[in-house]
């Protein structure tokens, strides 16, 4: 029973924490077969008492993962790479469609709905945290 509970907790995309970084609501938007770029979303929360700097991300499922932000300027959509993102103590940063996101490039295998893809969020301090990102058409429902 304890082993089953431990497996359930580690496999859940709802909350994964390591050190001061907590990842919730992690998901990857479904893309057409053969797509070479996908986007990942989540909420990153700094549970510590000092600023936390997110410097990137990595995944064995993709050739490259980077931090990006989409914005609309004068009616034209733009996207730019972000070198890092600072999260204040107790604060959260939301990665969501139309804003900050993980740019997931060159998938190494087919990424299909229902899969969970492990992604590691990297921090300047080296702590980082990993989470299973659920592949689907919308963000996973919040746990009660």
Task: Give the span between the Cα atoms of 37 and 93, in whole angstroms.
Answer: 22
> Is 111 within 8 Å of 102 (Cβ atoms)?
no
Domain boundaries 14-132, CATH class: mainly beta
Q: Enter the pTM of the model.
A: 0.82
Domain boundary assignment for the chain? 14-132
Q: Check pLDDT > 90 for residue 106.
A: yes
Q: Looking at the DSSP assignment, which residues form a beta bridge with residue 66?
A: 103
pLDDT (0 to 100) of residue 72: 82
pLDDT digit string, tens, across residues 37-63: 999 999 999 999 999 999 999 999 999
Q: Check pLDDT > 80 for residue 134.
A: yes
């Amino acid at each position: 029973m304890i082993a089953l509970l431990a497996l359930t907790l580690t496999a859940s995309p709802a909350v994964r924490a390591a050190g001061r970084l907590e990842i919730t609501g992690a998901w990857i938007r479904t893309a057409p077969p053969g797509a070479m770029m996908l986007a990942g979303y989540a909420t990153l929360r700094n549970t510590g008492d000092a600023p936390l700097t997110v410097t990137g991300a990595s995944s064995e499922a993709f050739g490259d993962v980077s931090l990006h932000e989409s914005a609309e300027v004068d009616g034209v959509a733009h996207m730019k790479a972000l070198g890092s993102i600072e999260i204040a103590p107790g604060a959260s940063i939301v990665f969501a469609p139309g804003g900050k996101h993980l740019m997931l490039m060159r998938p190494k295998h087919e990424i299909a709905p229902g899969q969970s893809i492990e992604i590691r969020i990297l921090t300047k301090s080296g702590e980082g945290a990993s989470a299973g990102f659920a592949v689907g058409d919308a963000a996973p429902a919040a746990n009660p």
